[in-house]
Amino acid sequence: VSKQTVLVKFSKPRSRGYDILAGGGLLKDFGKELARRNGGVSPFVFSSPRVWRLHGKALKVSLEKAGFKPAFYLVPDGEQNKNFLQWSKALQALAAFGQGGAKKPLAVLFGGGVLGDLGGFAAASYKRGIPFVQVPTTLLAQVDSSVGGKLGIDYNTPRGVIKNLVGAFAQPEWVLADTQLLQTLPQRELRAGLAEAIKTAVLFDPKLFAFLQRNVPALLRPDPALLAKVVAACARHKARIVGRDEFDTRGARALLNLGHTFGHALESAAGLRWRHGEAVALGLCCACDLSKKLGLSKTGLPEVEALVRAAGLPYRVPGMDVKKVMAAMSEDKKFQGDLRFIVPLRLGLCRGVSVKDRAHVEAIVQERMASSAGRAHG
- Partner residues linked to 44 by β-bridges: 71, 107
Closest to ligand NAD by CB, 154 vs 369, is: 154
Encode 225-256: b = buried (16+ Cβ within 10 Å), e = exposed.
ebbbbbbbbbbbbbbebbeebbebeeeebbbb
**Nearer of residues 287 and 364 to ligand NAD, judged by Cβ:** 287
Q: How far is the CB of 69 from ligand NAD (least distance, A)?
A: 24
Is the CB of 115 or the CB of 369 nearer to ligand NAD?
Answer: 115
Residue 221, Cβ density class (10 Å: 0-12 exposed, 13-18 middle, ≥19 buried): middle
* In contact, 175 and 193? CB cutoff 8 Å: no
Residue 196: CB atoms within 10 A of its CB come to 28
Of 23, 24, 56, 113, the one binding ligand NAD (CB under 6 A) is 113
Q: Least distance in Å: CB of 48 to ligand NAD? A: 5
Q: Is 79 in the site for ligand NAD (CB under 6 A)?
A: yes
The backbone torsions φ and ψ at residue 19, rounded to the nearest 5 degrees and listed phi first, read -90, 145
- Binding piece for ligand NAD, criterion CB under 6 A, among 27-35, 134-142, 311-319, 340-348: 134-142
Site track for ligand NAD across 207-246, x = CB under 6 A: ----------------------------------------
Complex with ligand NAD: residue 55 or 293, whichever CB lies closer: 55
Q: Tell whether residue 255 is a contact of ligand NAD (CB under 6 A).
A: no
Cα separation of 63 and 46, whole Å? 14
Q: 192: how many CB neighbours lie within 10 A of its CB?
A: 25
Q: Give the bridge partners for 107, in sequence order.
A: 44, 132
CA distance 141 to 172: 13
Interaction between residue 20 and ligand NAD (CB under 6 A): no
User: Shortest Cβ distance from residue 270 to ligand NAD (Å)?
Assistant: 14
Judge whether 23 and 57 are in contact, CB under 8 Å: no
CB of 271 to ligand NAD, least distance (A): 14
Is 148 a binding residue for ligand NAD by CB under 6 A? The answer is yes
| 172 touches ligand NAD (CB under 6 A) | no
The residues of the shown chain that bind ligand NAD, judged by CB under 6 A, are 48, 50-51, 54, 77, 79, 82, 111-115, 117, 137-138, 140-141, 144-145, 148, 150, 163-164, 181-182, 184-185, 189, 192, 276
